[in-house]
Amino acid sequence: MDIIYADNNATTQIAPSVLDEMMPYLKDYYGNPSSMHTFGGQVGKKIQEARAQTASLLNATPEEILFTSCGTESDSTAINAAIRSNPTKKHIVTTRVEHPAVKNLCEKLAKDGFRITYVPVDQNGALDLDFLYQSLTDDTAIVSIMWANNETGVIFPVEKIASVVKGKGIAFHTDAVQAVGKIPIDLKNSDIDMLSLSGHKIHAPKGIGALYIRKRTKFSPFLIGGHQEKGRRGGTENVASIIGLGAASRFSQELMEKENTEVKNLRDTLEKGLLEKIEHSFVNGEKERRLPNTTSIAFEYVEGEAILLMMDQFGICASSGSACTSGSLEPSHVLRAMGVPFTAAHGTIRFSLSTYNTMEEVNRIIEKLPPIIQTLRNMSPFWKQNQ
Ligand code: PLP
């Protein structure tokens, strides 16, 4: 059975050109980049090339890029660095809709005595900026706001927020794991202090990420060890994956235009087709300021997990808007924060496309999904009650 992979916000296929660049560094050039000999030294040079490629995707300088193991590590490194660098400040500002990489860290820090302000969103997923600005105090150590939401694709005005936060002398971090590679990012002309990204969302392998740290930003390392990464992260480098991230950054830069035209057109066609064919369905979140590849669609009165299982039989891969916790299917914290009604949040499916998807695949989803929803609705007591 052919797979239709529409779950690219979860992870992406490694681009063949990325894999080609990595292979020699898994097989032949296995030297340690910290070694004095030429054999290791040549690997170090290739890491610097990857650093420059990653910087270029963000319009940053190579010295501002720190390689990490993933987006989660980048988020933790940034937030922990800010609170360690400002030991007297005990307040953190973030949003209600962050990825668990930030959300769960903040919940842990709350237990450690930090005061956390969670900025709310409206029913379109847009941030309450007045609430955010009013929450900033002399005690605020860091503001961490995601660039784009992984579930709905809604984009936050982080550049605007960063300049207000900077004006108050507070550190600003953004989790841009979903934004990088999908929308243009220009850090040179922004007030963002730190930015997290992850390789496996942009066609590099899993287990590699990066943190942008603006020059002169106060920093304190998370992993203490050797002198790698200029002492900002100990541990022998994940060489092949770093090279993969560099290659993927170049690949993403080349594809940015296509992402915002062709991939967007696929997403729009999918969205329109499903909404037209399936009654009682709607898009979660504002449609304009949104990632070009993502759509979160609520199919009322059905269970998202049941939809996923039935789509799986046709090889269609997507994600639901629920988090399976302790046996009960809770709608995601993002949809709850937006006030999406229970009967819609439960039936939400996120489709996230990439440059590897085709119109034929989109049409197949539009053909296969309506009968699946109808079958499930015929079994649903909620559906019957609302007819
Ligand atoms: N932040 C966001 C917005 C994400 O979507 C993800 C992954 O889904 C992460 C952070 C975590 O990235 P990683 O899987 O590389 O740890």
Q: Which ligand 1 atom minimizes the distance to the CA of 101?
A: 10
**3-state SS assignment for residue 178:** coil
What does the pLDDT read at residue 313? 97
Lowest-confidence range among 73-82, 112-121, 323-332?
323-332
Determine the Cα angle at 377 with ends 373 and 379, to 5°: 125
pLDDT tens string 294-337: 999 999 999 999 999 999 999 999 999 765 544 557 889 999 99
Q: Does 70 sit in the ligand 1 pocket, CB within 6 Å?
A: yes
Is the pLDDT confidence value at 339 over 90? yes
Ligand 1 within 6 A of 198 CB? yes
Distance from C-alpha of 191 to C-alpha of 173, rounded to nearest angstrom: 10
Instruction: Give me the pLDDT at residue 325, please.
Output: 47
Pocket lining: 69 vs ligand 1, CB cutoff 6 Å: no
Structural domains in the chain, sorted by start: 4-10+256-382 (3.90.1150.10), 16-252 (3.40.640.10)
Instruction: Look up residue 317 and give its two tokens.
Output: 């891969």
- φ and ψ at 54, to 5 degrees? -65, -40
Report the pLDDT averaged over residues 353-368. Answer: 98
Among 6, 150, 183, 171, CA closest to 71: 150
Per-residue pLDDT, averaged over 129-149, amounts to 98
pLDDT confidence of residue 328: 56
Query: Is the pLDDT confidence value at 283 over 90?
Result: yes
Active site residues: 324
Strand partners, 298: 282, 348
383 band by pLDDT with thresholds 50, 70 and 90: confident
Per-residue pLDDT, 386 = 78
Q: What is the pLDDT of residues 21-63, one digit of tens each?
A: 999 999 999 999 999 999 999 999 999 999 999 999 999 999 9
The average confidence (pLDDT) of the chain is 96
Q: Where residue 385 falls among pLDDT bands split at 50, 70, 90?
A: confident
The percentage of the chain sitting over the pLDDT mark of 70, rounded to a whole number, equals: 98
Confidence band, pLDDT 50/70/90 cuts, at residue 380: confident
CA 105 – ligand 1 centroid, Å: 13
Distance 231 CA to ligand 1 centre (A): 25
pLDDT for residue 184 is more than 90: yes
Tell me the residue ranges of DSSP E strands in the chain: 4-5, 65-68, 91-95, 115-119, 140-144, 171-175, 194-198, 209-213, 281-283, 294-299, 316-317, 319-320, 322-325, 328-331, 348-352
Give the lowest-confidence range in 11-20, 112-121, 149-158, 320-329: 320-329
Instruction: Tell me which of 75, 103, 198 to substitute to probe ligand 1's pocket, judged by most ligand atoms within 8 Å of the beta carbon.
Output: 198
User: Which residue's alpha carbon is at the smallest distance from atom 5 of ligand 1?
Assistant: 150
pLDDT at position 326 is 46
At residue 330, the pLDDT reads: 81
